[in-house]
Amino acid sequence: MNELENEERSWWSRNWKWVVPVGGCFTVILLGIILIGGAFFSFFSAVKSGSGGDEAFELVQNNAKVIEALGEPIEKRTFGSNYNVKYNNGHKTSEATIPIKGPNGEATLTVKTSGSDDDTVYEVFEIYIDETGETIDLRENQLGQGDY
């Protein structure tokens, strides 16, 4: 007998005919999922940043009245954020509702703005303290950041 006939073939030489198409399809599916996920992430990030909620949260973290009511550090709660941005003929309106917490309690940050990106008007910029029912209006701190 010939010596080559008795040798066992490698795993690759026995299975390449199904591994190549399955691996290729899996790769295409995985890339499609990554691209779609990236598109959704980019879209939601753009809406979130366009609402002004992140900038407002940074201002809240340094506000003396809010620090007195909630303590430090002030953080965003995990769930319950709501962002909404609308454009109509160059005029933008946005709303953001962000639940926040500190060592002394929890609150809700509400921001409603209108105008263009260069001339933002804060219609509502307030904190509602959940435990006491107190509302802290933060618009007076926004002089120089637009009108109110």
* CATH code of the domain covering residue 137: 3.10.450.320
Q: Are residues 121 and 137 in the same domain?
A: yes
**Residue 2 covered by a domain:** no
- Residue 32 pLDDT class (50, 70, 90 cuts): very high
Residue 24: predicted pLDDT: 92
As beta bridge partners, residue 126 has 110, 137
Q: What percent of the chain clears pLDDT 90, i.e. is strictly above it? A: 21
How far apart are the two ends of the chain, measured CA to CA in Å?
95
Beta strands 105-115 and 120-129 are: antiparallel
**Residue 44 covered by a domain:** yes
Which tokens is 113 given? 């703005």
> What mean pLDDT is predicted for residues 52-66?
81
Q: When comparing pLDDT for 32 and 91, which is higher?
A: 32
User: How many domains does the structure of the chain reveal?
Assistant: 2
- Residue 133 pLDDT class (50, 70, 90 cuts): confident
Q: Are residues 33 and 92 in the same domain?
A: no
Residue 33 lies in domain = 15-49
Q: Are residues 71 and 112 in the same domain?
A: yes
Q: Check pLDDT > 90 for residue 29.
A: yes
**In angstroms, rounded to a whole number, what is the distance separating the alpha carbons of residues 103 and 16?**
60
Q: Check pLDDT > 70 for residue 2.
A: no
**Residue 111 covered by a domain:** yes
Q: Check pLDDT > 90 for residue 117.
A: no
Residue 51: predicted pLDDT: 65
Q: When comparing pLDDT for 122 and 101, which is higher?
A: 101
**Residue 143 covered by a domain:** yes
DSSP-assigned letter for residue 146 = -
Q: Check pLDDT > 70 for residue 147.
A: no
Least confident interval from 7-21, 42-56, 93-107, 115-129: 42-56
Residue closest to 51 by CA, chosen among 98, 94, 81: 94
